Amino acid sequence: MKTIKGPGIFLAQFAGDDAPFNSLSGMARWAADLGYRGVQIPTWDTRLINLETAAESQTYCDELIGTLAEAGVALTELSTHLQGQLVAVNPAYDLAFDGFAPEAVRGRPQARQLWAVQQLLHAAKASAKLGLSAHATFSGALAWPYVYPWPQRPPGLIETAFDELAKRWRPILDAFDAQGVDVCYEIHPGEDLFDGTTFEMFLDRVGQHRRCNILYDPSHFLLQQLDYLAFIDIYHDRIKAFHAKDAEFNPTGRQGVYSGYAGWAQRAGRFRSLGDGQVDFGGIFAKLTQHGFDGWAVLEWECCLKDSAQGAAEGAPFIAAHIIDVASRAFDDFAASGTDDAANRHMLGLA
């Protein structure tokens, strides 16, 4: 067993145009003042990091780590959620996701996809230079529009989608492998990897690649009504990153998992600020600790009710209170009788 690191915070939901949220140094000091010990950086926000420079310059990376250290925090992971999304986009979502890319490649799906792949390759090199062992991202999606089996899916449609998804990601996984960094896919609705079954379909197609791993976020599992504690037991060897995010599911006579296209505040399933939802974080931290997860517990704040400032302030002490300091000795050591092999054999009638 190992002790989970934390608390950490994902900066994406808090970055903005006003100080301290418009610079890495400002956000690092803000996070440290709230009690966070680590920050996860969204690489699409150039106010916080220049990904291409980080991929090429060790000096730049050393200065970035120094900036964080001066504020009293560490770097947990880099994130390429938006770029990962663009590695695979079904045409139905071309317009919706175009805004994730630079203007130069918008409206040009092939150029946009090549840009996204290059971003991931930069992230692999940058992660290594920054001394990281895990990277957070999305898988993208080709099959997602067909998630519900009506109208009837033609034979081979899903298999073809996953074959192509694996084909696009395999070179990226190899690039991360060359840098010694795990790719951690956030298992998330809207991605082709949205539960354990789909992760396994992908994992099989990339040859059980050792760098194909999971960013565990229980909120998405609760909203799907998936057993998120059993998920840890099944996939703990592949869980290399962890978002602490809460959610609640309150079905009514009018709506359930799909929530009737309602806005977030009116949905049966909705994200809540950490500690305000239904996720059993005591069980999660216990299982992750039992299975030896020693990565970071990183707050990803999303809530349709509570203000982000309050959510951030409450998140650090909540995570800290759930981190289990692994015992240095067995709880029943006081009762040790000091028996030896001969005594053991005598107790078994074998003397």
> Rounded to the nearest 5°, which phi and psi values hold at 40?
-105, 125
* Residue indicated by tokens 């991605």: 191
- Per-residue confidence band for 39, with pLDDT thresholds at 50, 70 and 90: very high
- Per-residue confidence band for 340, with pLDDT thresholds at 50, 70 and 90: confident
What one-letter code names the amino acid at 324?
I
Q: Is the pLDDT of residue 206 over 90?
A: yes
Looking at the chain, the whole-number percentage of residues with pLDDT higher than 70 is: 97
Alpha carbon distances (Å) from 41 to 11, 27, 30, 77, 256: 6, 10, 14, 7, 34
- Per-residue confidence band for 41, with pLDDT thresholds at 50, 70 and 90: very high
- Per-residue confidence band for 328, with pLDDT thresholds at 50, 70 and 90: confident
- What letters, b where the CB count within 10 A reaches 16 and e where it falls short, cover 296-320? bbbbbbbbeeeeeeebbebbbebbe
- Per-residue confidence band for 339, with pLDDT thresholds at 50, 70 and 90: confident
Q: Is the pLDDT of residue 338 over 80?
A: no
Instruction: Indicate the average pLDDT of the chain.
Output: 96
- Per-residue confidence band for 335, with pLDDT thresholds at 50, 70 and 90: low
Coil, strand or helix at 32: helix
Mutual orientation of helices 109-129 and 157-179 as an angle, nearest 10°? 30
122 within 8 A of 46, measured Cβ to Cβ: no
Coil, strand or helix at 218: helix
pLDDT value at residue 327: 80
Q: Is the pLDDT of residue 212 over 80?
A: yes
Query: What sign results for the dihedral spanned by CA atoms 43, 300, 245, 308?
Result: negative
**What are the contacts of 316-319 at 24+ separation with CB within 8 A?**
316/7, 316/9, 316/34, 316/35, 316/36, 317/35, 318/7, 318/244, 318/274, 318/275, 318/281, 319/6, 319/7, 319/8, 319/244, 319/274
- Per-residue confidence band for 332, with pLDDT thresholds at 50, 70 and 90: low
pLDDT value at residue 8: 98
pLDDT value at residue 222: 98
Alpha carbon distances (Å) from 42 to 84, 128, 136: 12, 16, 9
142 within 8 A of 97, measured Cβ to Cβ: no
Name residues whose C-beta falls within 8 Å of residue 205's C-beta, 6 or more positions apart in sequence: 162, 163, 165, 166
pLDDT value at residue 342: 87
Q: Is the pLDDT of residue 241 over 80?
A: yes
Q: Is the pLDDT of residue 336 over 90?
A: no
Q: What is the pLDDT of residues 61-99, one digit of tens each?
A: 999 999 999 999 999 999 999 999 999 999 999 999 999
Q: Is the pLDDT of residue 32 over 90?
A: yes
Topology (CATH) of 5-347: TIM Barrel (3.20.20)
- Per-residue confidence band for 55, with pLDDT thresholds at 50, 70 and 90: very high
CA distance 73 to 319: 15
Task: Identify which of 55, 223, 21 has the alpha carbon closest to the alpha carbon of residue 128.
Answer: 55
CA distance 8 to 220: 19
pLDDT value at residue 130: 98
